[in-house]
Amino acid sequence: MQEYDLIREKAKELARGVVSEEGVSENINEFVRDRILYCLDEWDVKPIEVLRKGRGMCAGKALLASELHRAMSISTRFKVIKVLGEGGILDFVMHQLEETKNSSLSLEERERVREAILLLPPERDHIILQVFLHGQWRDFDIARDKDLDRGMRLLGIRRERKVVSEEGVFDSLDRWIEERMRRRTVLRDPWDTEGEEGGFRRGGIRLLRSMD
């Protein structure tokens, strides 16, 4: 089966028995939000891969949801925002790395991960899906699945996104992702001189913004 056929089949399955565009959209968004589990990933993962893996980051999940909507002739686009990362999952992981002694990681590996987190800039790129319903664009943040969100709440990890700025609205994320991959992400080849913007250098390794 062709890639697009798989997405169309999934879209049809999610739309079965639903009459209104709003209902179809709700089913698609719920499916992508809660059944496609949030994980840290590359920015350029194709929607079909996200569907197959059942996991994805904000961009991959928004792209998949967009394809599913478009397969049902519902218009979508993408809003790129910058959010503050402070107090979120990265802070929790940092704390875990400091506390957990019986890790499978060597001390050196743990230190390198800690350093990578510390050097990330405070502002992170984040993708919001916009769906055209009842004559207007509506925002949907479908990145975080409900179990992860509940876990964050129970563990006292900050869940609210503090929006710093809106970077723009795009019909397609292709060009944005291409550019984003050039200035990606956690650890990058220090010899590569592209994508300095938003980057940090230390110890020969350039660390750039990432998540989520």
Partner 1 sequence: MVSEEGVFDSLDQWIEERMRRRTILRDREIFFKVMNEQIERIRSVGLKGLI
Within a 10 A sphere around the Cβ of 42, how many other Cβ atoms?
A: 15
Is the omega angle on the peptide bond into residue 212 within 30 degrees of 0, that is, cis? Answer: yes
Q: Which stretch binds partner 1 (CB under 8 A): 60-68, 84-92, 128-136, 160-168?
A: 84-92
Does residue 121 belong to the site contacting partner 1 (CB under 8 A)? Answer: no
Sign of CA dihedral 168, 173, 179, 181: positive
Is 96 near partner 1 (CB under 8 A)?
Answer: yes
Of residues 72 and 148, the one with the C-beta less far from partner 1: 148
Residue nearer to partner 1 on the CB measure, 55 or 70: 55
Q: Please count the residues of the chain.
A: 212
The reply to whether 204 sits near partner 1 by the rule CB under 8 A is yes
Query: Applying CB under 8 A, does 158 fall inside the site for partner 1?
Result: no
Q: Which residue number, 84 or 205, has a Cβ lying nearer to partner 1?
A: 205
Binding residues for partner 1, total number by CB under 8 A: 36
Is position 6 an interface residue for partner 1 (rule: CB under 8 A)? no
* Interface with partner 1 (CB under 8 A), residue from 11, 33, 41, 71: 41
Going by their DSSP bridges, the two strands 123-133 and 76-84 should be labelled as antiparallel
DSSP readout, 91-141? HHHHHHHHH--S-SS-HHHHHHHHHHHHTS-SEEEEEEEEEEETTEEEEE-
| Contact flag: residue 12 with partner 1 (CB under 8 A) | no
Would strands 37-38 and 55-56 be described as parallel, antiparallel, or unpaired?
A: parallel
Other C-beta atoms closer than 10 Å to the C-beta of 128 total 20
Q: Which of residues 16, 155, 160, 193 is near partner 1 by CB under 8 A?
A: 155
Q: Which residues bind partner 1 (CB under 8 A)?
A: 37-41, 89-90, 92-93, 96-97, 105, 109, 112-113, 116, 145-155, 157, 186-191, 204-205
